[in-house]
Every structure is written in structure tokens, then in C-alpha cells.
Amino acid sequence: MNAVNPAGSGALPGADLVELKPRQGARARAVRLWNRAAQAVMLAVIGQWSFYGIFRCPFVVPYISCQNCPVVACHGRLFTMFWGVWAGWLALAALFGRVFCGWACPGGTVNRLLGQFSPLRLKPGGLAARLLPLGKYGGLALALWAYFVLGQPRVNVPIRTGEFFGAVALTFEHAMPLWLVRTWAVLGILALGVAVSAAWCRFACPAGGVLEVVRRFAPFSVYKTDACNGCDKCRKVCYMATRPEETNCTNCGDCLGSCPQDCIGMGRKPR
């Protein structure tokens, strides 16, 4: 004789949830596969530009003055990747939130890889967890000050002789103090990502500060429903140590399939 639930539906209690989990897991695996593929493609497309921006760009604020840059080997200069590219990502953020950070940014990809080994976690709701994410806006304020107040000065001599790393060494040797402070600060915070997952992306990235503001108005995102019971399993699998729709969510989709309540979705949030 078949067991029935008290409601008389003919299904075992929890059967819907058991049936749902394989579909939930398959969806999560598919999204993760597409995410990793997108990251690999974008690393190949703009990875060189990202690398040059840190180590070779002569300007205080990299990636936005490529049309005037003397480093002719940089892809930003070769393919005029500056304001038009950022305008496109802003438009995309207005629709899909911080997808650039979670799906395309080479720095985000590196931070995610480093985060696999980071042993430290900030206590959710603690003072550090509340205040450190505001650092993105401090980084944005510094970038705006350097661009509009200082006039985006050139602060290194982009010497190119021989192989790439030799040229980088010469850049460090002949750069002005402001360039050295900027570059070592960026490298230091990136290195901190070995201890605290995605420290640069979460606490310092100026572009992340802009996209974080815009993402609040995006109609499409990874979201959680009212069924959320605050178990934080999604936070534990997230390299940004956040939850859907909350500060620093990049809509990467890694949390899909982590929720025992099946309250995480992707797309337009149901009303």
C-alpha cells in the first residue's frame, strides 16, 4: 500500500523537495560552467589590458586615458578600449548588476582563484564586515580626485626595451612616487586576497564602487525569495562572502544550488 501525506495528495512528505534537488543541482552546474567559460574568454580578450594597466600604464588612473597613452603595445591603445567599453559595462550593470565583476573582469578571476586558499572570514554583521566594503567608495573618490583635480597626470616613464618584465622593472625604477604608491597599494590589496577572499574586489576596487551603486537598480539578478531562513549556506560558497542582492553580489551564480530552501533564483525576481 502506498503511503500518502496528511493532505491526501498521494505524494510522500518532502517528495517535491527531493525531486527538485537534482534539477536545482543541474541548473547550478550549468550556470557555473557558463560562468567559468565566460571568465576564460574575457581573460583572453582583456587580460593583457588589465595587466598593462597595473604595471605599464603611465597615468594615475589606468584604463580610461588609452587614447592618449604612449604604450602602443597595450590592447587598450590598440583597440581604443576605454570610455566606450566602460559605458557598455555601465549599461549592462543597469540591467544585470555587477556582472562585469562576476563574469568578465580579469582581476575578479584572479581574486576568485586566490580566494580558494584564503583562510580568513569576516564575521557577518561585524564591524569589519560592515565598514570595509565602504573602501570601494574611498577608492572611487581617490580616482575621481586624481582624474579631475590632479588632471590625470603621467607619473611614470613607459620605457620599453627588450622583454616585457625587463620593461616593467625599468618602469618601477623610473616612476614617480605617486605611481609607486598607487601600484604598490593595488598589489598589496590584491595579495591580501590570499588571506581574505577577494579583498580587492570587496573593499577597494573603484570600478566595483561605481557598479555597486548602479546594480541596485538592475531588474535582473541572482535573488533570494522570502523563503530565506538566514542559514547563510549561500554566503559560505560565495567567493565575495555575501548573499544574493546584498552588497558585493556579482551575480556569478555560484550560490545557485546551495540553498536547502530552494529560495535562490536568477533572472527577474518574482513579486
Whether 3 is covered by a domain: the verdict is no
Extract the C-alpha cell encoding 85.
Answer: 567599453
Query: What distance in Å separates the CA atoms of residue 196 and residue 241, rounded to the nearest whole number?
Result: 10
Q: Which domain holds residue 102?
A: 29-268
**21 falls within a domain:** no
159 within some domain: yes
Query: pLDDT-derived band of residue 116, with 50, 70 and 90 as boundaries?
Result: confident
Residue 16 or residue 102, greater confidence: 102
C-alpha 195/C-alpha 117 separation (Å) is: 7
pLDDT band at 82 (very low <50, low <70, confident <90, very high): low
Separation of alpha carbons 136 and 139, rounded Å: 5
Residue 82 in domain: yes
- pLDDT at residue 164, as a whole number: 78
Q: Is pLDDT above 50 for 3?
A: no
Domain count along the chain: 1
What is the pTM for the complete model shown? Answer: 0.85
CA distance to 104, 106, 208, 213, 265, per residue, from 100 (Å): 5, 9, 9, 14, 19
Q: How confident is the model at residue 12 (pLDDT cuts 50, 70, 90)?
A: very low
Burial bucket for residue 216 (CB in 10 Å: 0-12, 13-18, 19+): exposed
Q: Judge whether 259 lies within some domain.
A: yes
Task: Tell me the mean pLDDT in the region 172-177.
Answer: 92
What distance in Å separates the CA atoms of residue 205 and residue 111, rounded to the nearest whole number?
A: 12
Q: Note whether residue 22 is domain-resident.
A: no
Residue with cell 546551495: 258
Interatomic CA distance for residues 210 and 26, integer angstroms: 33
Q: What is the pLDDT of residues 205-222, one digit of tens each?
A: 999 999 999 999 999 999
In this structure, is residue 14 part of a structural domain?
A: no
Q: Identify whether 24 is part of a domain.
A: no
- Give the burial class of 202: count Cβ atoms within 10 A of its Cβ; 0-12 exposed, 13-18 middle, 19 or more buried: buried
